[in-house]
């Protein structure tokens, strides 16, 4: 597990990325060299006075940089980077990321994700800035996915059947003023992802466990990152990929405080007991696919 100063450095990097600041920009603000900033980010000892100045530049608090209590992230880039960092040290991750965790998606999904994230942005957002942010988010998610596959990280994923059925009806869209042909293609893309999910469930890849939940779950994503020393809890309003994604509004949090972690541990234990798994989960998803196909009979089916 990383030491305290390494953790401070990682949080600093996450907040810096969320602000769109380079190490050079931070160095100029502090009156130090870029190398000094990189040393802090890689775990060098840092004085409290420097942390106070860093917090002011990054729009956060010393407590958040120290990880004292709860870390708050108003930027999705900051949160996803911090999530990637914590996950890299985890032995097991328990996740609910509606409608589907990025770790469970197909190779075709990033292109759909980029398109929907861009089209979901309000008109006052500059296109160049938006594309930069979206590219960074997808890059972080790709790095996270590759790392989890290489490490064969143990991941328990909760998938909500109601979310999946809504996804199939609406498609992978960032807005609804699309042509009929485009909406049909977006629904087909959602269908392909669900078929990919069924394949995952039936192939039972090492380290991946999937539980299908048939009741409504919170709209917020949550994750438990379990290590030998402690468990982190991440809760996020940022929504990816499904209908009407959100990468603009809300505040995510990360904490290792015992009380909220235990409450979520109790929640996931209860959910796992009720979850449909294996063949039963795959059959339920096929039933939903069939209902979707009946509701939209004119669409071609994709290959499983």
What does the block give as tokens for 72?
């708050």
Q: pLDDT, tens digit, for every residue of 105-118?
A: 999 999 999 999 99
* Residue 135 pLDDT greater than 80, yes or no: yes
CA distance 125 to 249: 13
Total-model pTM = 0.87
* CA 293 – CA 299 distance, rounded (Å): 7
> pLDDT tens digit string along 169-200?
999 999 889 999 999 999 999 999 999 999 99
**Other Cβ atoms closer than 10 A to 50:** 14
For residues 218 and 263, give the distance between their C-alpha atoms in angstroms, rounded to a whole number. 14
* Structural domain spans, the chain: 1-68, 70-295
The whole-angstrom separation of Cα 165 and Cα 242 is: 11
Helix-strand-coil percent breakdown of the chain, rounded to 5?
A: 55, 15, 30
**1-68 belongs to CATH 2.160.10.10:** no
Point out the least confidently predicted range of 31-40, 69-78, 126-135, 227-236.
126-135
Is the domain 70-295 a CATH 3.30.870.10 member? yes
pLDDT in tens, 261-273: 999 999 999 999 9
- Residues 218-251 as b/e (b if ≥16 CB within 10 A, e otherwise) read eebbbbbbbeeeebbbbbbbbbbbbbebbbbeee
> What percentage of the chain carries pLDDT values higher than 90?
72
Average pLDDT over residues 60-77: 90
Distance CA 244, CA 259 (A): 32
Q: How confident is the model at residue 301 (pLDDT cuts 50, 70, 90)?
A: very low
């Amino acid at each position: 597990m990383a030491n305290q100063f390494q953790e401070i450095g990682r949080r600093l990097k996450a907040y810096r990325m969320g602000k769109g600041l380079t190490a050079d920009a931070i160095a100029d603000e502090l009156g130090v060299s870029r190398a000094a900033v990189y040393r802090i980010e890689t775990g060098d000892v840092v004085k409290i006075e420097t942390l106070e100045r860093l917090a002011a530049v990054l729009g956060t608090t010393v407590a958040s940089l120290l990880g004292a209590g709860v870390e708050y992230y108003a930027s999705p880039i900051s949160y996803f980077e911090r999530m990637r960092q914590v996950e890299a040290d985890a032995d097991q991750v328990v996740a609910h990321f509606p409608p589907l965790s990025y770790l469970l998606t197909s190779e075709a999904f990033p292109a759909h994700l980029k398109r929907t994230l861009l089209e979901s942005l309000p008109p006052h957002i500059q296109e160049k800035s938006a594309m930069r942010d979206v590219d960074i988010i997808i890059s972080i998610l790709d790095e996270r996915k590759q790392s989890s596959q290489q490490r064969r990280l143990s991941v328990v994923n909760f998938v909500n059947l109601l979310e999946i059925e809504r996804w199939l009806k609406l498609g992978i869209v960032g807005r609804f003023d699309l042509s009929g042909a485009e909406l049909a293609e977006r629904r087909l893309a959602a269908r392909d992802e669900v078929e990919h999910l069924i394949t995952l469930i039936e192939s039972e890849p090492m380290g991946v466990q999937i539980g299908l939940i048939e009741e409504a779950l919170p709209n917020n994503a949550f994750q438990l990152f379990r290590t030998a020393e402690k468990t982190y809890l991440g809760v996020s309003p940022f929504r990816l990929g499904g209908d009407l994604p959100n990468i603009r509004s809300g505040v995510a949090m990360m904490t290792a405080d015992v009380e909220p972690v235990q409450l979520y541990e109790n929640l996931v234990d209860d959910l796992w007991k009720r979850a449909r798994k294996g063949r039963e989960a795959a059959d339920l998803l096929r039933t939903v696919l069939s209902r979707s196909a009946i509701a939209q009979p004119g669409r071609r089916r994709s290959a499983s």
